[in-house]
Structure 1
Amino acid sequence: MSPSLSDTPALSRRGLLKFSLGASAFLATAGLGASLSGCSSSTAANGFVILRSGDLLFLRALIPVMLEGAVAAEKIPASLDQTLHSLDNSLNHLSPEMLKLTQQLFDVLGMAVTRGPLTGIWGSWENASGDEIRHFLYRWENSSLSLLRMGHSSLKQLVMMAWYTRAESWVHCGYPGPPTV
């Protein structure tokens, strides 16, 4: 007779460390595999310096959800394009190592084989609802895996920095802008 779930001990620290190590190895392998297999295009999308077409699919779904409350609904399309170009500019000024890590994160989120298990979004990003994206962000923000929490933090910082460097965003938070010199 096998023990029931309630009879088995909770996940130990050692078990959690093993799981975290395995998950980290999986993500690193998936990112490297995407880069080497050609699933991840290194060519920038038309009109961008760094962001690739696959990145844009993911970011076009993510950014409107992250900007909710900071942008009026009718201004989301224009704000989305402005934020994408601001993000592209920021990525263009990252160190090569940080850019590589960011692109690996985007690769893992863009590949169907890793997107579903890691985000809970099994279809394409284009078809994901706002609630599904909010749930994915909540899962990563509150994950027991530090790697996913770091991924959430990175995404949030990238998007928020790209948005709040734009003068259009300053009105919402009451910032009058930098002083004129």
Structure 2
Amino acid sequence: MKRRTFLTSAFVGTAAIALGVNLYSPEFIAANRSQDSQHRLLFSALLPVFLDGALPEVESLRRAAENRTLDAITQTIAMLPEESRAELEQLLGMLEQRLGLLILTGSMTPLMMRTAQELVTLLEYWRNSFIELMVTAYQGLRELVMASYYSCPEHWSRLNYVKPTFLGTET
């Protein structure tokens, strides 16, 4: 066998295996994807990065704030216009697939398996990217997470915001 034939065969075989791994979806993976139709797992990896310093230090309070924010994200996505929701779903779908991750991040490692520093580096790259689409993706994810977090009244105290009261009305 010639060296060129061997290298070509190895490359084609590796590409086929990578594509097969990306497309292969056993029942338990398919079940998890259907249960995570709201992208809670993906956002649970991104929340600590976007909300660094805003989340409570106590673990039980932190977990409650994260869960409340994940619920708010689901509600916010549901209220988006159809076109914006479709674009967001496309981005989130790509971030949950290995081939999409490879295209968007240069690595097939799922976001949930990356360290906080790796996620910060990735998001900073998107934020300062010369590709407008990456900047838009960063801004969209950040705005969604921040708006959902601060839409919850229990988080307003971090902003020193107090709900206004009007004369003659009860709180």
Fold shared, TM-score > 0.5 on shorter chain: yes
Larger displacement relative to structure 2 (104-113 or 72-81): 72-81
Name the residue aligned to 2:122. 136
Select 1:72's aligned residue among 56, 74, 77. Answer: 56
- Counterpart of 2:37 in structure 1 is 52
What secondary structure sits across from 2:120 in the alignment?
helix
1:18-62 Cα offsets, whole Å, 9 max, x none, are xxxxxxxxxxxxxxxx9xxxx999x863xxxxx616x22211100
CA distance in 2, matches of 1:80, 1:121: 26
Partner of 1:151: 137
Match of 1:163 in 2: 149
How far apart, CA to CA, are the structure 2 residues paired with 1:91 and 1:163?
13
Q: Distance in 2 between matches of 1:160 and 1:52?
A: 21
Runs ≥4 residues deviating over 6 A:
none
Q: CA RMSD in A?
A: 2.4
Specify the SS of the correspondent of 1:68. Answer: coil
- Name the one with the larger helix percent: 2
Say which is worse superposed, 134-143 or 89-98, in terms of deviation. Answer: 89-98
The percentage of aligned residue pairs carrying the same residue is: 25
Deviation at 1:177, TM superposition (A): 2.1
1:65/1:73 CA distance change after superposition, 3 Å: farther
Q: Which of residues 100, 123, 132 in structure 2 aligns to 1:114?
A: 100
Per-residue CA distance 1:52-75 (angstroms, 9 max, x = gap): 16x222111001111111122323
Contact 1:120 1:136 in 2 (8 A): no
Against the structure 1 CA distance between its residues 113 and 104, is the aligned structure 2 distance closer, same or farther, given a 3 Å change threshold?
same
- Give the 3 Å change call, closer, same or farther, for CA 133–95 of structure 1 in structure 2: same
What is the total number of aligned residue pairs between the two structures? Answer: 137
> Can you give the 5+ residue segments of structure 2 that lack an aligned partner in the other structure?
1-22, 24-28
Name 1:82's counterpart in structure 2.
68
The structure number with the bigger radius of gyration is 2
Question: Contact 1:40–1:107 (CA<8 Å) still a contact in 2?
Answer: no
TM-score by length of structure 1 reads: 0.68
The answer to whether the 8 Å contact 1:105/1:151 transfers is: yes
What residue in structure 2 maps to residue 48 of structure 1?
none
Bigger mean CA offset, 68-77 vs 141-150: 68-77
**SS of the counterpart of 1:73?**
coil
- Note closer, same or farther for the CA distance 1:145–1:131 as it changes in structure 2 (3 Å cut): same
Rounded Cα–Cα distance in structure 2 between residues aligned with 1:103 and 1:153: 15
Q: Which residue of 2 aligns with 1:172?
A: 158
Q: TM-score, normalised by structure 2?
A: 0.71
In the alignment, the residues of structure 2 paired with residue 178 and residue 113 of structure 1 have an alpha-carbon distance, to the nearest angstrom, of 48
| CA separation of 1:110 and 1:174: change in aligned 2, threshold 3 A | same
